[in-house]
Amino acid sequence: MELGPCRILDGNGTKFHPESWNSNVNVFFIDQPIGVGFSYAEYGETVSTTEVAAVDIAAFVAIFFENFSKFKGRPFHMAGESYGGRYIPVFAAEVCDQNAVLIEKGLTPVNLTSVMIGNGITDFYTMAASYYDIACTPAFVEPILSIGACMRMKQALCLHISCVDIFDAMSCDSAALYCGTEILLPFFYSGKNPYDVSRDCDSAIEDTLCYPVTKHIAAYLDRASVRAQIGVDPSITANFSSCSSDVGTAVTLAMDEYRPTYHYVAALLERGVQALIYVGKNDWICDHVGNEAWTRELEWSGHDAFAGTPLKEWTVDGKKAGETRSAKGGAGHMVPYDKPKESLEMVNRWLSGTPF
């Protein structure tokens, strides 16, 4: 749908995507955790936390480079979007720590070079607080919600004590339910696309995530010939789904979303792994206000230089494409889908070390 070599825009199958991210790099995608997409476990294993999933990912990465040895030593970048703000820092940390084990066993360490997070949920607390800014102030577009809804949203004390200071499951669930009523529901009732507030949701969000193209993608992946061609295990007979309710429920019950992830980003930076945090400004669900907040507050050796650097304009072909801030090397929700040309330029500059 976003950055791969092909897109499926209708019922006629794949079409070449000229702005694919594999224009200059090798890219592979992983269905994870176990149970997502076409992934499965032979003995019924399940995953309910990102930390447990990270062990599987690190094992896969090590096995990949051992089996495809021509890629050994090449710069390796781990990228993800949305909940990838939780996944990628934890996964990369596991890969980084695993290198010591690989060296001890006489194997080549993985050349982990950077992490790339697009519209990520890396700090749920700053994100929850920023929902007001996007929906009720002209942070990018004009206010979306009524004054009454905005006042209730502003007054809601959400999650901080229960999910940050204490981390009590029962209290956190109660706070999350309250927040859902006062913050999330008013936005969803507005009919706006939570991934792009500049447009209305033009289909049932629970069915398509507001993007009807996902129906074409699922239908394509449900073709028996396609499944055979890409090697889907015959034991998987269910229709393809963009979201796994079983995995989602397990992760929710484990309170995985509320566990702080930004500490992993700081630890990676201190070990020379660079981090690209990019956010499409039209997004509400993982918005630029919340992401800018946690990046500027992040405690690491480059904090003062980063937080004190003003935003500067970034252009592509002479036109403003965004604003950037960096230190020490350091669209909508679906940036490559909404802005394929600009996102390709962004990733190419990042991977080549060209300043923004």
CA distance 192 to 149: 15
How far apart are alpha carbons 47 and 34 in whole angstroms?
6
Instruction: In whole angstroms, give the CA distance from residue 35 to residue 44.
Output: 10
117 — phi, psi (to 5°)? -125, 120
* Sequence letter at residue 217: I
Determine which one of 283, 287, 338, 343 is catalytic.
283
Active-site choice (82, 114, 162, 244): 82
Q: Using an 8 Å Cβ cutoff, are 11 and 21 in contact?
A: no
- Gap between the Cα atoms of 343 and 178, Å rounded: 36
40 Cβ neighbours under 8 A, 6+ residues apart = 34, 233, 235, 236
Amino acid at 58: A
- Quick check: is 82 catalytic? yes
- Does residue 350 contact residue 116 with C-beta atoms inside 8 Å? yes
Enumerate residues 6+ apart whose C-beta is below 8 A from 299. 266
Please measure the distance between the N-terminal and C-terminal CA atoms of the chain and give it in whole angstroms: 26
C-alpha 292, offset from chain centre = 15
Q: Is residue 118 within a helix (H) or strand (E), and if so which, with residue range?
A: strand 112-118
Catalytic annotation, pick one of 114, 333, 338, 343: 333
What CA–CA distance (Å, rounded) separates 4 from 79? 13
DSSP letter, residue 148: H
Q: Find the farthest-apart pair of alpha carbons in the chain and give their distance in angstroms, rounded.
A: 64
DSSP codes joined into one string, 279-300: --TT-STT-HHHHHHHHHH--S
- Beta bridge partner(s), residue 276: 116
- Residue 235 among the catalytic residues: no
Q: Is 263 a catalytic residue?
A: no
Rounded Cα gap, residues 107 and 150, in angstroms: 56
The residues annotated with a catalytic role in the active site are 82, 283, 333
